[in-house]
Structure 1
Amino acid sequence: MRRSQIVSLLLAILIGFGSLAGVLAAGWAPVLGVQLQGGVEVLLRPTAPADDEQLDRAIEIIRSRVDALGVAEPDITRQGEQVVVQLPGVKDKQRAVDLVGQTAELRFRPVLLTFNPFDEVDFGGAQQLAAAYNSSLHPESVDESASEAAGDELVDEQEMTAQELLELIDPEAAAELEAEAGDAAAVGDTSETVETADDAEAEEIDPSDIGLELFPEFTAPEDDLADWAVLLPGRGEPVGYVLGPAELTGEAVAEAAATFNNEWVVNVDLTDEGAVGFDEIAARYFGQQVAIVLDGVVESAPVIRATEFGGTAVISGTFDEDGARDLAVALRFGALPVEFEQDDVRTVSATLGEGTLRAGVIAGIVGLILVGLYMLAYYRLLGIVAVASLAISGSVLWSLISWLGESRGLALTLAGTTGIIVSIGVQVDSNIVYYERIKEEVRRGRAVRSAADASFKGAFMTIVWADLASLIGAGVLYQLTSGTVRGFALYLGLATLIDLAVSYFFMRPLVVFIARRLVNEEPRRLGVLRTADGDVAPATDPTGGTS
């Protein structure tokens, strides 16, 4: 036995069991998919008819959002016009569910007025202002009564600023707004909330969370049109906003990231076109508030303190870490081309997942035991090599799956475990190809130790071509499919690559060692029996045939 083969054998054992000991010592274990550990399944249905291109684009965006959340091995598939999203092991299920179907339409709107949504007088005045503004923008679409309430002095929107319009409608409110703007912080600071001394509960209620249930006078989602004035709630603060038409949309955003600098903020990089448009807004509304609106809620309403921003902006507000990251994810991957509603939300219990996992583990162990007994009965000493090869492959695969789960969030799904179980057959086939080559050489009269060395080259080429076929199939499945089928393909491919390495660096030197040290030119120790005339014959196949 050559020195290189001894080194190869020892290195294979060291890598196999050393990597397993390392991940166990680190406390790593495979991350389990939704079928194995439980999770949440969301069924999304478009609110309006959508074509295939829109649905496929929506699935891509949802998958990108889920990946950014760090959810391991999500399964996002399409069933007709519905989109099924499976999220395994999520801690904050509601947060994940809200984010995957969020349309995420970002708009920059000028602030006409901030008001207290808990004060009926304030709310009434805000409604009158919005109606008056809309009557000036769309006189053909607004009732005559609304136009008369706005007054006869309203002029075209292109010739009048929001502040001037407000002065015509409500001079006192205009003076208050101007005073607030003068006292507000620089760009990036949200507007001061409007508090009511008569209702202490107002400070604790976020109208953006309650929405139209308590405040039906807020603009409904179907009426939240970009070129109309709207009444919208603020995020995390008891304040409402009267906002003018959108001056810019989320298409102007190139990149967004959440960072912490004394508070959680979202840094936004604008496209070239978006940077020009944002600077135009800054020049037009210098010294005034511009609201950043996401899906009908004002996330922030900073005061513009510069006329040029150089293609970057900062969104600040009452963000916690999750809120800032969710906003950044929604902005980064853009708005969904289709508006979805949650048709069904199902929770897969951890108990059900544990039962599935237990059944899979039992099936795998029983299969391994049966394969091991068959190999030992038919190939004798070589059967020991087959069992040892499976142990080395299993150790490496477990370590690799655990590492990928810890570092990349890759999850082991039910389909993935199926791929691993299928790969057991692939690995055993590699052993059988080599063993049968050896037995053929021994039947021809060749010495066992010589046959072990000479047979490997031809056997290994057969193993390579057979494994290549498995790799091609796994690669095609991985590229052309999604969800659980990709998990099956991935783990089948990984196990097949490990089989190639184990066959060359472990199986070969161990078989040569056994042939030289343990067989002692007794072919039946390899499952090859001698006949009455002294020739060798194969051992009886446990199934009733012969090899």
Structure 2
Amino acid sequence: MHSFPRWKIWLILTVLLVSLMGALPNMTTPPTWWPSALSNPMTLGLDLKGGIHLVLDVDVDKAVAHGVEEDIDSARQELRKAKIRYRSLSAEGNTLSIVIKETAEMDAAAKLLADALGSYDISPAADNTFTLVLKESVADETRKFAVDQAIEVIRNRIDALGTTEPIIVKQGARRILVQIPGFEDSARAKDLIGRTAQLEFKLVDEKGSLDKALAGQLPMGDIIMYGPEQTRNGQTFRQPYLLKKRTELSGNEISDARVSIDSRFNEYAVTLKFNSKGARKFDKLTAAHVGERFAIVLEGTVNSAPVIRERIAGGSAQITGSFSPEEAHDLAIILRAGALPAPVEVVEERSIGPSLGQDSIDQGMNSIIIGSILVLIFMAVYYRMFGLVANVALIFNMLLILAAMSIIGGTLTLPGIAGVVLTIGMAVDANVLIFERIREELRLGKTPLAAIDGGYDKALSTIVDANITTLIAAIVLFQFGSGPVKGFAVTLSVGILASMFTAIMVTRAIIAMSTAKRSRIEKLSI
């Protein structure tokens, strides 16, 4: 004990200084010169700060059906390239149906489709028809990818709102848990998260007859779509459009979307910027169809159908529609983040007000304070001077947890507060093991200084073993848990590391410094 390493003392003082600096932002605003890494207060979770809790269900079968529809274009291009004529191509669910014109071309078509669409089980049927069914393994992979992609899209949309520490995790095979602390506009959050934002550019069929199409004589390769609801002379209607079914450009080719002002009507709009591939396609599209109209279709509704006056180079387009500033901002966020791969439905919704969160904070803090006071009193009474040393280490431990949670950007939840309370008990437990070992050494007749050395040395392995096994359990909880469970795991892990540091090193340093100048000690206050 007389030769306690000086570097350990400097390490303890350094940790104490960093802890004080890291904990300060939770109590007051730090000065401007404060290090940025130590300037962030601890983030409060949904149950403490209030906010929105949503559970979303992803329609993964729609993602499969959408992928099959996209494969129609692949089949069409391959057949045309091989000059194999066909009567029709159609998709329904996970099945493609292709009708070949000439029986003599069936064998060539079978080989071509098998090579081009290897993810399908192909079986020829009567009347020159091929039925292609998507393999179940491929369908399962598409469903899984749809949920993973939806999580990333939703995360990008929520991050653009400027909220801190949103929780977005997968639940089961097709559900997503979304928690947004500090955000109270539930309707806006659901609209922002739930919009599929499927953006498509389609050509208007200028030669086809809209009236005949509405009467049931729809030209091959065309589709009827409608504009937004309008009111005229007290009547509500939606403008129909006869469009080419083929999508010339999609939202996948957008690199940026920003709020702008439409100079013609002096209203808010969203200006799109295509990526290099999209810019080339848009340039080629506008050059080939000058004088014709092309429709901007957003989520199945024709937003507008302007006339292409001239070739448009540079890869920019604009969406108008009498937007409010907030609507234009949210649409830009959605388009920038990308489209959802499949529709999502809110199956569970809860809003937690900040007043309820404050009540939880107050109750949690009261539990920490009361628990700490009772522990401090017990240690001081039962272990006397050594108990006071443990109490100093316990206060250091609480400061270290607060600073560490702030520095690493951890989120404090109600279960996290429970983790802090549990850590208080574990920190004291380590000191109890050490002090009881010291008492045993004294009963064996050892001198006080030898008893202190023996107590720390013999208790060390027990303390390390107990804390390491608990830390492993906390890491497993963090890895496989979600939401509040992760919050508990984070605070428990930080608390375990802090308690090992304070119980093993800090208390020993205090005792070492208090006995360093005393050559002989007759009795220990323990």
Q: For this structure pair, what is the TM-score category when the shorter chain's length is used for normalisation?
A: 0.5 to 0.7
Note the residue ranges of structure 1 that are not aligned, 5 or more in a row: 113-128, 148-154, 163-206, 220-229, 232-241, 527-547
**1:34–1:87 contact (8 Å) kept in structure 2:** yes
How far is 1:359 from its partner? 1.7
Tell me, yes or no, if structure 1 residue 380 matches structure 2 residue 384.
yes
Structure 2 CA distance for partners of 1:48 and 1:445, relative to 1, 3 Å:
closer
Deviation string, structure 1 residues 336-384 (Cα, Å, up to 9, x no partner): 3442344564432222222222222212222212222222233222222
Structure 2 CA distance for partners of 1:457 and 1:98, relative to 1, 3 Å:
farther
Tell me, yes or no, if structure 1 residue 38 matches structure 2 residue 58.
no
Which residue of the partner structure matches residue 143 of structure 1? 215
How far is 1:519 from its partner? 12
Structure 2 CA distance for partners of 1:503 and 1:49, relative to 1, 3 Å:
same
Deviation string, structure 1 residues 165-217 (Cα, Å, up to 9, x no partner): xxxxxxxxxxxxxxxxxxxxxxxxxxxxxxxxxxxxxxxxxx969899x9853
Tell me, yes or no, if structure 1 residue 13 matches structure 2 residue 90.
no
**1:19–1:399 contact (8 Å) kept in structure 2:** yes
Which residue of the partner structure matches residue 217 of structure 1? 237
Task: Tell me the distance in 1 between the aligned counterparts of 2:237 and 2:208.
Answer: 12
**1:12–1:505 contact (8 Å) kept in structure 2:** no
**2:163–2:183 contact (8 Å) kept in structure 1:** yes
Where does 1:50-449 land on structure 2 (aligned, <5 Å)? Answer: 53=144, 58-59=150-151, 61-76=153-168, 78=171, 84-110=177-203, 132-133=209-210, 143-144=215-216, 217-218=237-238, 245=245, 246-253=247-254, 255-256=255-256, 258=258, 268=273, 270=275, 277-286=281-290, 290-296=294-300, 306=311, 309=314, 313=316, 326-343=330-347, 345-403=349-407, 411-449=411-449
How far is 1:41 from its partner? 3.1
Structure possessing the higher relative contact order (Cα contacts under 8 Å, 6 or more residues apart): 1
Structure 2 CA distance for partners of 1:522 and 1:295, relative to 1, 3 Å:
farther
How far is 1:314 from its partner? 6.1
Structure 2 CA distance for partners of 1:513 and 1:108, relative to 1, 3 Å:
same
Tell me the secondary structure at the aligned position of residue 482 of structure 2: coil
Where does 1:447-526 land on structure 2 (aligned, <5 Å)? Answer: 447-453=447-453, 455-456=455-456, 459-503=459-503, 505-516=505-516, 521-526=521-526
TM-score when normalising by structure 2: 0.64
Greater displacement, 488-497 / 454-463:
454-463
Task: Tell me the distance in 2 between the aligned counterparts of 1:433 and 1:291.
Answer: 76
**1:72–1:411 contact (8 Å) kept in structure 2:** no
For residue 383 of structure 1, what is the amino acid of its counterpart? G
Structure 2 CA distance for partners of 1:23 and 1:35, relative to 1, 3 Å:
closer
For residue 248 of structure 1, what is the amino acid of its counterpart? L
Task: Tell me the distance in 2 between the aligned counterparts of 1:447 and 1:423.
Answer: 33
Structure 2 CA distance for partners of 1:6 and 1:419, relative to 1, 3 Å:
closer
Note the residue ranges of structure 2 that are not aligned, 5 or more in a row: 31-39, 63-139, 263-267
Task: Tell me the distance in 1 between the aligned counterparts of 2:511 and 2:204.
Answer: 79
Greater displacement, 278-287 / 425-434:
278-287
Greater displacement, 259-268 / 500-509:
259-268
Task: Tell me the distance in 2 between the aligned counterparts of 1:378 and 1:338.
Answer: 63
For residue 495 of structure 2, what is the amino acid of its counterpart? A
How far is 1:29 from its partner? 4.2
Task: Tell me the distance in 1 between the aligned counterparts of 2:272 and 2:196.
Answer: 20
Structure 2 CA distance for partners of 1:258 and 1:395, relative to 1, 3 Å:
farther
Deviation string, structure 1 residues 7-45 (Cα, Å, up to 9, x no partner): 344334333334333553426643322222322333545
Deviation string, structure 1 residues 417-451 (Cα, Å, up to 9, x no partner): 22222222332233234334433433333333344
For residue 35 of structure 1, what is the amino acid of its counterpart? D
Task: Tell me the distance in 1 between the aligned counterparts of 2:515 and 2:449.
Answer: 5
Task: Tell me the distance in 2 between the aligned counterparts of 1:79 and 1:211.
Answer: 44
How far is 1:46 from its partner? 6.0
How far is 1:90 from its partner? 0.7
Deviation string, structure 1 residues 458-501 (Cα, Å, up to 9, x no partner): 54444343332233222222222222212221222222233344
For residue 326 of structure 1, what is the amino acid of its counterpart? D
For residue 195 of structure 2, what is the amino acid of its counterpart? Q
Which residue of the partner structure matches residue 121 of structure 1? none
Task: Tell me the distance in 1 between the aligned counterparts of 2:292 and 2:440.
Answer: 89
Structure 2 CA distance for partners of 1:413 and 1:156, relative to 1, 3 Å:
same
For residue 72 of structure 1, what is the amino acid of its counterpart? T
Identity score, percent: 31
**2:22–2:407 contact (8 Å) kept in structure 1:** no
Structure 2 CA distance for partners of 1:37 and 1:307, relative to 1, 3 Å:
closer
How far is 1:157 from its partner? 6.9
Task: Tell me the distance in 2 between the aligned counterparts of 1:400 and 1:381.
Answer: 29
Structure 2 CA distance for partners of 1:499 and 1:31, relative to 1, 3 Å:
same
Tell me the secondary structure at the aligned position of residue 104 of structure 1: coil
Tell me the secondary structure at the aligned position of residue 42 of structure 1: strand
Tell me the secondary structure at the aligned position of residue 217 of structure 1: strand
Deviation string, structure 1 residues 20-74 (Cα, Å, up to 9, x no partner): 3355342664332222232233354567978873556545543453344343343
Structure 2 CA distance for partners of 1:460 and 1:325, relative to 1, 3 Å:
farther
TM-score when normalising by structure 1: 0.62
For residue 66 of structure 1, what is the amino acid of its counterpart? I
Structure 2 CA distance for partners of 1:14 and 1:43, relative to 1, 3 Å:
closer
Cα root mean square deviation, aligned: 4.5
Task: Tell me the distance in 1 between the aligned counterparts of 2:211 and 2:451.
Answer: 92
**1:300–1:315 contact (8 Å) kept in structure 2:** no
